[in-house]
Amino acid sequence: MDITLSNILLVSFKNSQKKMTGSGKSPGVRRGCGLVGRRLRLQKRGDGAIVPCMQTACTKEELRALLAPVRGKQIVLVPTMGALHEGHASLLRRARALAGTEGCVVASVFLNPVQFDNAGDLATYPQTPEADLQTCRECGVDIVFMPTPEVMYCPDRSISLEETHLSTVLCGAKRPGHFAGVCLVVNKLFNLVQPTDAIFGKKDYQQLAILRRMVRDLDMPITLHGAEIVRGEDGLALSSRNVRLTPEHRAAAPVIRRSLLAAAELYASGASAEAVKAGVMTALSAVPGVVVDYVELVDAEHLHEVTDERRLALLAVAAFFGDVRLIDNIEITRNI
């Protein structure tokens, strides 16, 4: 992408705005979020490309207008719920590398109420929009989509999207309706953005498996990429919820990773599935204030009981440290 193309983007955006309203103004734009009346500035990205400065859309109309000039190019989407940390940043940087200098990186920042089965969890979920925008800017994102629930959902919505096999275990068994909400919002984002690629972290391993099934079963022309878990120096998987841990629970939380690593060695050496799970359960239950939600060993693809030990398996954990629910996992194999 060069300066000439950037000028084309500016003209295309202005034309799109005029088509939307006849006046060049976008309806329902929130202050500090819309693009109307702003001159498109150029910046030198980290990879040396001269590109338009990162743009923010808060309505579907704005998003479509911004994407119109890049249709036909590689568009990489990174969906997030905000409160971005280094784990999210790694996804954004990977998206930038995948899109290259000619493609477009889109990040969505949307706290999706439909996927929360616990109103208290939704109410306490961290929200840091200004910091999120700065993270996106530093990682080379081209477009940030920051809608409200009112923008994303009609008040009388009556369509749902539910996966009926992979979602019946692990977090799906513990959080009714959660993955139906995930599938719905991701499907909507895919329809709006029409990406060629999308990137999701493997910390939410079940989510990634379900979304891959959705893309396969609904014939969506999108390539999904799974990114490895990003961890702190002590091994704790990075999560937006970590900021809510008490100092005591934060200090104890790395036991999750240590127990998973020990269990992986046990499984590799031939220990039974029950023995492997029991080791993790014992380690976690020894921590004061920790309540184990589940410890499961499943096939890494279909997420149900391991029936062929030659296949890749997944050891997954969910546990409450006080009122904060943490999840983690590890892919494991037998030494056969």
Q: Name the active-site residue from 88, 165, 225, 304.
A: 88
178 is catalytic: no
Residue linked to tokens 């019946």: 168
123 Cβ contact partners less than 8 Å away, ≥ 6 residues apart: none
Helix (H), strand (E), coil (C) string for the chain: CCHHHHHHHHHHHHHHHHHHHCCCCCCCCCCCCCCCCCCCCEEECCCCCEEECCEEECCHHHHHHHHHHHCCCCEEEEEECCCCCHHHHHHHHHHHHHHCCCCEEEEEECCCHHHCCCHHHHHHCCCCHHHHHHHHHHCCCCEEECCCHHHHCCCCCCCCCCCCCHHHCHHHHHCCCHHHHHHHHHHHHHHHHCCCEEEEEHHHHHHHHHHHHHHHHCCCCCEEEEECCCECCCCCECCHHHHHCCHHHHHHCCHHHHHHHHHHHHHHCCCCHHHHHHHHHHHHHCCCCEEEEEEEEEECCCCCECCCCCCCEEEEEEEEECCEEEEEEEEECCCC
* CB distance 53 to 41 below 8 Å: yes
| Residues that are catalytic | 88
